[in-house]
Amino acid sequence: MISRLIITAFLMLSALAPIRAMAADPVNIPKTVDNIVTKGDVVIGAYKPKDGLETADAVSSLYFDVFENSGMEAAIGMNDAELKMELESLFSRVIGLASRGSPPETIEAAWADLRKLLKETAESQTGATGGFVSALLQSFLILMREGFEAILVISALIAYLRRSNQGDKVRIIYHGTGWALAASLLTAYLMTSAIEVSGTSREALEGVTMLIAAAVLFYVSYWLFSKREIERWQKYVHGQVDKALSGGRLFTLGFAAFLAVYREGAETVLFYQALLAGTEGQTVPVATGFIAAIICLAILFWATRTAAFRLPLGVFFSVTAVLLYYLAITFAGKGVLELQAARWVPITPLNWMPQIDWLGLFPTAEGITAQFILVVPLLLAVVYWFRKRRAHAAMERDDARTR
């Protein structure tokens, strides 16, 4: 089922891609970097704390009008998603410091970090896609990277329904996935062909989607974790599962699947359109890489679903809850970063904090706060669990003494 949905998406993508390809030229990353650096040097050189907002607007324009609109962001994202997010984070850092009227030396240091990474990017990536093998590999990695997390979420939700003896309701997960694919393609079409969507709107859409996904996955993970004890789960199944799954919670599971796919869906389409635009005459290797990725994702889906059935029930719910909770944490951090790039959320850099991309940890107070809000319930749950275990152990000791 998943494979058929993805193949359908590819056929629709094939129809949309030429529209983008006709309007786009392969990006010249070194030239684009020179443009950003030259203009950025002038902006940072003229910076004065009292005019910080003007500098922040100028750097923001460099990000949207040059880095993003030139196609450089998409070209980098195809090959190295972490590098793309690191550059985005450094742009946000300069913007945040400037908007707060930080001292010139602080702004210069932040710009120097961004400038250095831009130069390194220009040296390591030329924007050229190479021959058959290179185009095939890029096509394969795009779908594998973007589809990996979605497959994990979908397979976990499907396994949950089947292990709850609710296999007939698995269709809601597939429906959510199918609607997400359609919505992703429509979004990508609107962004590139039908209407002119500003860079800030794209970042805002990505950020809002990620934060909603974080909230939904957090809710689902908490609910699964609360059912990890076999006795509690069996009691729940016998008395409540039919009622719960027929109502709002079933919609929540379908919505979680929708968000897992839609979160990266539109960006994936844009990546493939950019790849096709930069690989003229390389449609066959791009299609081959795409199909190879479909096969690998299908194998991953089958493997994770099979493994889920072999795990003990308590372990299954605990592992699934941890996976979804981890994704919720990372989505929260990345969502705030996107909203900061769109200037929807303030930027308060934390220079002492490291950046950890795989955890969605970016050194800003706003991003850390969003993630901390999700961590607090976990800490409270751990404290509650330990106290409950202690109380239970004390009761067992008292019972042993009275015997």
Q: Is 291 found in the same domain as 172?
A: yes
Q: Is 240 found in the same domain as 173?
A: yes
Structural domain includes residue 295: yes
Q: Among residues 108, 124, 140, which one ends one of the domains?
A: 124
**pLDDT recorded at residue 195:** 47
List per-residue pLDDT tens for the chain, 403 residues long. Answer: 444 444 444 444 444 444 344 344 567 889 999 999 999 999 999 999 999 999 999 999 999 999 988 888 888 887 788 898 899 999 999 999 999 999 999 999 999 999 999 999 998 865 444 567 778 888 888 888 888 888 888 888 888 888 777 777 888 888 898 898 888 888 777 766 644 555 677 788 788 888 888 888 888 887 677 665 544 545 544 444 445 455 556 788 888 888 888 877 777 877 787 777 666 667 788 888 889 998 998 898 888 878 777 777 667 777 878 888 888 899 899 999 989 988 899 999 998 888 888 888 999 999 999 999 998 887 887 777 677 777 767 776 766 666 6
Alpha helices per DSSP H over 240-310: 241-246, 248-278, 283-310
Structural domain includes residue 269: yes
**pLDDT recorded at residue 5:** 46
CB neighbour list of residue 158: distance below 8 Å, 6 or more residues apart: 170, 173, 305
Q: Is 116 found in the same domain as 146?
A: no
Q: Is 246 found in the same domain as 323?
A: yes
**pLDDT recorded at residue 144:** 87
**pLDDT recorded at residue 11:** 44
Q: Is 112 found in the same domain as 255?
A: no
**pLDDT recorded at residue 250:** 74
Q: Is 155 found in the same domain as 110?
A: no
Bridge partners (DSSP) of residue 364 are 349
Alpha-carbon distance of 16 to 25, in angstroms, equals 16
Q: Is 56 found in the same domain as 97?
A: yes
Q: Is 150 found in the same domain as 115?
A: no
**pLDDT recorded at residue 47:** 96
Structural domain includes residue 369: no
Range of the domain at 232: 132-355
Q: Among residues 124, 152, 180, which one ends one of the domains?
A: 124
* Contact of 176 with 255, CB cutoff 8 Å: yes
**pLDDT recorded at residue 287:** 86
Quote the number of domains for the chain.
2
Alpha-carbon distance of 56 to 99, in angstroms, equals 5
Burial of 291 (0-12, 13-18, 19+ CB in 10 A): middle
**pLDDT recorded at residue 53:** 93
Q: Is 328 found in the same domain as 244?
A: yes
Structural domain includes residue 335: yes
* Contact of 57 with 96, CB cutoff 8 Å: no
Q: Among residues 124, 146, 180, which one ends one of the domains?
A: 124
**pLDDT recorded at residue 23:** 40
Q: Is 152 found in the same domain as 68?
A: no
DSSP assigned state of 364? B
Q: Answer whether 0.75 is exceeded by the pTM.
A: no
Structural domain includes residue 379: no
